[in-house]
Amino acid sequence: MKLLVVPLLWLCLALSATSAAELKIDLGRGVTVYRTESLLKRSDARMVSVPNDVAFRRTMHYRAIPLVALLKGVIAGDHLQFVASDGFAAEIPVNVLMNRRGSEAWLAIEDPAHPWPLLPGKHSGAGPFYVVWTQPQAAHVGPEQWPYQLATIRKLRDVAVRFPAILPDPSLPPDSMVRRGFAAFQRTCFACHTLNGQGDAKLGPDLNFPHNPTEYLRADLLRAFVRDPQSLRRWPQAKMQGFDRQALSDADLDAVLAYLRHMAGRKPGH
């Protein structure tokens, strides 16, 4: 019986932590705290099936709430940041959440009585809160717009206003490849990386200071790394997932590399 004490204790602690989980939402009028148990009991909570789930890479079924139901008062043009407990920080404009193309964002809530499985290849789960999408392809929702282990949602100013050091040269024409790359960079890389020391993400290294990856990797190797990080360096504990062509087209990848090459000449103090 003694052999069972420690596993049972850990199980009880894990269930207690999940049941007591809190999601904080700050839309500029003070912080509202939502707890797992109250969210699961809401009248608008329902079961949602998500084919090709980004985190679990298979069909998943969640007890979930339409995300916009928790975002009362936001309007088109507002900007939201979704911060996970591991330091991931997804920047999602409200226009994406309120699109009229058929994509819908849901807040999935992990039920402590029916916990989700561990993430593939990891020792952690996606709970207690996870933003999932139905029909994400309709609004071109990328994998970095599926934040899991979610802890906080807050309304902030646009990325370009908060972090001016990541902006490309303002004299570039609006339709330049560098500007297209800057937009793709915000959707993908900026959720995990900083640039020129600016950004809220805590997962990956800075992508320009002291060295930009375009300065020490050939373009073909850098492209291969973005598609499949393990193709360049095998590391079982690596957190970066590759971006396939559905998540990041070849044209957008070329544009991101153009943006990075451009920013190599726009480092702090230069």
CA pair distance 176, 234, nearest whole angstrom: 35
Give the pLDDT of residue 18: 46
Which domains are present in the chain? 21-156 (3.90.420.10), 162-263 (2.60.40.420)
Give the pLDDT of residue 16: 45
- Whether residue 4 is predicted with pLDDT greater than 60 in this model: the reply is no
Q: Please give the mean pLDDT across all residues of the chain.
A: 89
Give the pLDDT of residue 236: 64
- Whether residue 1 is predicted with pLDDT greater than 50 in this model: the reply is no
Q: Which of 91-100, 103-112, 215-224, 229-238 has the lowest mean pLDDT?
A: 229-238
- Could you tell me the two tokens for 226? 């973005």
Give the pLDDT of residue 89: 92
Q: Give the DSSP per-residue string, 241-262.
A: PP--TTTS-HHHHHHHHHHHHH
Terminal CA-CA length for the chain: 66
CA pair distance 59, 38, nearest whole angstrom: 26
The DSSP code for 68 is: G
Give the pLDDT of residue 238: 64
* Per-residue model confidence as pLDDT tens digits over 150-187: 999 999 999 989 999 999 999 999 999 999 999 999 98
CA pair distance 183, 252, nearest whole angstrom: 9
How sure is the predictor about 241, in pLDDT bands with cuts at 50, 70 and 90?
confident
- Whether residue 260 is predicted with pLDDT greater than 80 in this model: the reply is yes
Residue 194: CB partners within 8 Å, gap ≥ 6? Answer: 201, 206, 207
**Proportion of the chain above pLDDT 90, given as a percent:** 74
- Whether residue 75 is predicted with pLDDT greater than 70 in this model: the reply is yes
How sure is the predictor about 17, in pLDDT bands with cuts at 50, 70 and 90?
very low
CA quadruple 105, 140, 180, 204: dihedral sign: positive
Give the pLDDT of residue 10: 45
- Whether residue 90 is predicted with pLDDT greater than 50 in this model: the reply is yes
Residue range 119-146: mean pLDDT, rounded: 93
Model confidence, pTM: 0.81
Selection from 82, 80, 50 nearest residue 63 by Cα: 50
- Could you tell me the two tokens for 220? 């073909």
Give the pLDDT of residue 269: 78
Paired strand residues for 61: 49
* Per-residue model confidence as pLDDT tens digits over 191-204: 889 999 999 888 88
- Whether residue 13 is predicted with pLDDT greater than 60 in this model: the reply is no
Query: Mapping DSSP to helix (H, G, I), strand (E, B) and coil, where does residue 105 land?
Result: strand
How sure is the predictor about 67, in pLDDT bands with cuts at 50, 70 and 90?
very high
Selection from 244, 224, 245 nearest residue 233 by Cα: 224
